[in-house]
Amino acid sequence: MLEVTAASVEAQLSLDFAEVYANSTLYQNGYLRDKFILSWDDLLWTSVDTGENIYGLGLVAIEVVYISIQAFLYTLLLYSMIGFQWQATKFLWFYYFILMSFIYFTMYGMMVAALTPGPQFAAIVMSFFITFWNLFSGFPIPRLQIPIWWRWYYWASPVSWTLYGIVVSQLGDIDSSVTIPGAGEQTVRMYLKDHLGFEHDFLVYVALAHAGFVLLFFFVFVINPEGDIHGYFSKLQSLSSNLKKRIDPPAFQTSLIIFLGNYCYRGPNTQKVLDFLISLPSRYSNQTHVFLCGNHDLTFTAFVGVLPPPSDGSAFAKTWRDFEQNEAREGWYKGDGYETMHLQGRRWAGSIKEKFNAAKGMEYKGSIYNAGPTFKSYMAFPTVLQDDVCIDTHEGRKHCRLIAVHAGLEKNKGFEQQLKHLKSKDTQVAKVEALSGMKNVWEILEELTINPTIVVSRHHGKLNIDGLRLIIDEGGGLEKNPVAAVVLPFGMIIRDIDETV
């Protein structure tokens, strides 16, 4: 085969085998399938949290099911090969410790994936700590021989607890004597205690420690904070570059690109982000660009005074009424011009009294909206509707309507009513749920399931793909998190941190 595909043979036949393969049906089908599979592989690594934590719980549940079967088969083989006593109690203890070790290793890997930007970095972090787990497991060096100032790591290593549990559950209750070279005769129980530090009476606590490690890794995995662009210009540039590299050039040049809002927030380069977005129509004249308004964009425009006035002629001060009880706690803005400012502008520009955001585990940065830069133009439209957009599903490719809105649509209100309200940009409303709602806009409206409709949003600080409900927001405005985009119809997830060639 090597001779046939050699350059000299290709020259004789006037063929480029690489080109022939790249243009083949086999490669094209595999390429599209691989892109779809890879996006879901990335999703399993990075999308570890949803508004209800359902997706994360689902990932854990399916892992535990097949790990339980795997651990049982492994236990049968290993237990019989070692030659332990065939007693039900001892076999179940052995199975428990093997099962829990399989689970905590899996949960640890998923937790590390949740806390790191990508699988490459996660692999480095995971292997680093696992090396220390094994080193301080008590197997290379028994605990009693480890220097006392390092023994804390022995107790912090899950592997040491597993080794402790397996040995003690099988041998810790044996009182028959054995001859120890250089130490004479001792019972097995005393040998384990004197030389390895293993005590049978400690078995229940060892079992509880395993459950503790599993629960620790599980909760960190599921309850993990994960965005929008939020003023991170370098991330936006990298994401744009990766989109250009990953999408076929003809398709990229004629793409419909929808930005889902929140161009300003914690990032340091809001002005550069806006300049970049404004330049896109002139740089890519054959593309269609849609810029939606996010909740932070709304607050910016309210503060700088370019928010359109209410259609009924009322003053913006009217929007304060239902929330005035929060003014002192949230530290609403009371500087120049506040008398004619929309509620959200006052909240954004204020200085919240309670500096720590318990929900996100971090400090507020200046205001209830954690914002910093300022914004000078109201260019965003709150929602976009496309009548024919394709998406690949497990049932094949579907033709759907597409609705893009920053946070989502309220489940308990009619679609047409909400669409009319958003298109009118009605600023007499104190809080626009489609831009700032959370749980109430997470799910897809039931009436939108009759005629298949894709609803795509950001805002929630999570990446969640649930049928036709797409939430693409891994960044959450946090510097360490990636900014992501979804490419339809493939469902391919592309991030600013992706390495492309």
Please give the full DSSP string across 430-487, using - where no structure is assigned.
Answer: S--HHHH-SGGGTSPPGGGGTTTEEEEE--SSSEEEETTEEEE---TT-TTSPPEEEE
Which residues have C-beta within 8 Å of that of residue 251, sequence separation ≥ 6? none
pLDDT computed for residue 77 by the predictor = 92
233-248 as b/e: b if 16+ CB within 10 A: bebbebbbebbeebbe
Q: Determine the Cα–Cα distance for residues 485 and 116; give it in Å rounded to an integer.
A: 18
**107-112: average pLDDT:** 84
Question: Quick check: 104 pLDDT over 80?
Answer: yes
Q: Which residues form the catalytic set?
A: 296
Question: Quick check: 99 pLDDT over 90?
Answer: yes
| 360/437: higher pLDDT | 437
Pairing of strands 184-187, 177-180: antiparallel
pLDDT computed for residue 34 by the predictor = 42
pLDDT in tens, 374-429: 333 333 345 666 777 888 888 888 888 888 887 788 888 888 888 777 777 766 77
**Residue 494 φ/ψ, nearest 5 degrees:** -120, 135
Q: Across the strands, what pairs with 290?
A: 258
**473-497: average pLDDT:** 74
Peptide bond into 452 cis (omega under 30): no
Give percent above pLDDT 90 in the chain.
11
**Residue 16 φ/ψ, nearest 5 degrees:** -115, 100
Q: Determine the Cα–Cα distance for residues 111 and 129; give it in Å rounded to an integer.
A: 13
pLDDT in tens, 29-68: 554 444 333 333 344 433 433 334 455 566 677 788 889 9
Q: Determine the Cα–Cα distance for residues 116 and 122; give it in Å rounded to an integer.
A: 6
DSSP character at residue 383: E
3-class SS of residue 397: strand
State the Cα angle at 204 between 200 and 209, rounded to 5°: 115
Give percent above pLDDT 70 in the chain.
74
Query: The dihedral of CA 358, 364, 368, 370: what is its sign?
Result: negative
Q: Which one of 207-211, 238-242, 497-501 scores highest in mean pLDDT?
A: 207-211
pLDDT computed for residue 42 by the predictor = 40
pLDDT computed for residue 459 by the predictor = 78
Q: Determine the Cα–Cα distance for residues 250 and 110; give it in Å rounded to an integer.
A: 37
Q: Determine the Cα–Cα distance for residues 352 and 177; give it in Å rounded to an integer.
A: 70
DSSP character at residue 399: E
Q: Determine the Cα–Cα distance for residues 115 and 46; give it in Å rounded to an integer.
A: 8
**339-350: average pLDDT:** 76
